[in-house]
């Protein structure tokens, strides 16, 4: 495609959010690609996919509640997204729409900046959409995962599906002795800067701690983990890595990660 051809990318969610726009727009400017990114608040998933086809939109970020609903409308589901059971990214190759999942890549890249996960024991709390993607990534990369969740049936089902261990409810976390990596994949802490689901007694120096929470960007868990000498990975890092993978899929180029991270943090601090 000629360099000057304008290309539209965007995202669909229940309400249009500012973070994808901030990260992708900054990345396109820095990389000098003629892309424009628009966030759409959408209710009808099928109609949104028709619009992608009709308008020739190149790439689409997909947030809840559309991540599962969108799957039947696409032409191809990448093997990984099919395994996770959710699509957060669509790429339009001349009318052929392929669904991907970049949440697991985001989490894995963010964790592996701190430690290789292969052979490591990971304690993960949560069994929702974010947890599914992260558990998939960890198991694929060779980590031994133990899942804890408030609703036991959901946690047990997730553990069984991915061949990992079931630990119990969050109240069991305090008795854990053995863990290299801790992950909060619940929504505890979201817009709640004083809440954390991981007890302080688990935050031993040297442990790697990933919190999926990106609002606030310095969650209670991240602050606790740093204070206890852990290697803390904030949810913003995961969010930027998943968006960076989207950039790679849309443009075929490496993503300007630092530019995207700076744009995200600036946008969050403006709120």
Report, as residue numbers or ranges, the catalytic residues. Answer: 67
Using CA atoms, how far apart are residues 138 and 180, in angstroms rounded to an integer?
A: 13
Question: Across the strands, what pairs with 168?
Answer: 148
Instruction: Report the nearest approach of ligand NDP to the CB of residue 2 (Å).
Output: 34
Q: Radius of gyration (Cα) for the chain, nearest Å?
A: 19
Candidate ranges 116-124, 144-152, 159-167, 199-207; the one touching ligand NDP (CB under 6 A): 144-152
Total residues in contact with ligand NDP, by rule CB under 6 A = 26
| Of residues 140 and 154, the one with the C-beta less far from ligand NDP | 154
| 127: contact with ligand NDP by CB under 6 A | yes
Binding of ligand NDP by 261 (CB under 6 A): no
What beta strand segments (E) does 126-269 contain?
144-148, 165-168, 181-184, 208-211, 231-233
The reply on whether position 193 binds ligand NDP by CB under 6 A is no
Closest CA to 132 of 186, 178, 176: 186
Interface pattern 49-88 for ligand NDP (x via CB under 6 A):
---------------x------------------------
CA distances to 160, 181, 243, 245, 259 from 27, rounded to whole Å, are 39, 31, 10, 12, 6
- From the centroid of its chain, how far is CA 125? 15
Task: Decide if residue 121 touches ligand NDP (CB under 6 A).
Answer: no
Are the C-beta atoms of residues 48 and 12 closer than 8 Å to each other?
A: yes
For the CB of residue 92, give the shortest distance to ligand NDP in the complex, in Å: 23
Q: Residue 153: is it exposed, middle or buried by C-beta count within 10 angstroms (0-12/13-18/19+)?
A: exposed
Strand 59-62 relative to strand 89-93, pairing? antiparallel
Per CB under 6 A, 167 contacts ligand NDP: no
User: Binding of ligand NDP at residue 129 (CB under 6 A)?
Assistant: yes
Binding test (CB under 6 A) with ligand NDP, winner from 131, 139, 145, 233: 131
Q: Is 11 in the site for ligand NDP (CB under 6 A)?
A: no
| 128 in contact with ligand NDP (CB under 6 A) | yes
Q: Does 196 bind ligand NDP (CB under 6 A)?
A: no
Q: How far apart are CA 249 and CA 53, in angstroms?
A: 17
Which listed residue (12, 81, 117, 188) binds ligand NDP by CB under 6 A? 188
E strands, the chain, where? 7-13, 35-41, 59-62, 76-77, 89-93, 96-100, 121-125, 144-148, 165-168, 181-184, 208-211, 231-233
Cα–Cα distance, 231 to 118 (Å, whole number): 17
Closest separation in Å from C-beta 130 to ligand NDP:
3
Both structure tokens of 94? 């001349």
Q: Which is nearer to ligand NDP, 121 or 150 (CB)?
A: 150
Contact status: 13 vs ligand NDP (CB under 6 A) = no
Name which of 25 and 149 has its Cβ closer to ligand NDP: 149
162 binds ligand NDP (CB under 6 A): no
Chain residues that interact with ligand NDP, rule: CB under 6 A: 64, 103, 106, 126-131, 149-151, 154, 170, 186-188, 190, 197, 212-214, 235, 238-239, 242
């Amino acid at each position: 495609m000629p360099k000057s051809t304008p290309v539209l990318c965007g995202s669909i969610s229940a309400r249009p959010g500012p973070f994808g726009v901030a990260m992708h727009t900054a990345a396109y400017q820095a990389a000098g690609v003629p892309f424009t990114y628009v966030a759409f608040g959408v209710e009808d998933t099928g109609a949104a996919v028709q619009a992608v086809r009709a308008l020739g939109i190149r790439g689409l970020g997909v947030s809840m509640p559309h991540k599962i609903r969108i799957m039947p409308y696409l032409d191809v589901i990448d093997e990984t997204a099919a395994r996770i059971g959710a699509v957060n990214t669509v790429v339009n190759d001349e009318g052929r729409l392929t669904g991907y999942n970049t949440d697991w890549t985001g989490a894995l890249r963010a964790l592996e900046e701190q430690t290789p996960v292969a052979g490591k024991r990971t304690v993960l709390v949560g069994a929702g959409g974010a947890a599914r993607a992260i558990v998939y990534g960890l198991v694929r990369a060779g980590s031994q995962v133990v899942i804890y969740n408030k609703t036991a049936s959901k946690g047990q089902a997730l553990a069984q599906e991915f061949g990992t261990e079931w630990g119990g409810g969050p109240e069991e976390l305090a008795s854990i002795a053995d863990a290299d990596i801790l992950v909060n994949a619940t929504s505890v802490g979201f817009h709640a800067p004083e809440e954390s689901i991981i007890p302080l007694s688990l935050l031993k120096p040297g442990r790697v701690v990933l919190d999926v929470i990106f609002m606030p960007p310095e969650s209670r868990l991240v602050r606790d983990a740093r204070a206890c000498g852990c290697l803390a990975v904030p949810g913003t890092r995961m969010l930027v890595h998943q968006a960076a993978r989207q950039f790679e899929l849309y443009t075929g180029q490496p993503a300007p990660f630092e530019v995207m991270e700076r744009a995200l943090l600036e946008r969050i601090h403006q709120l």
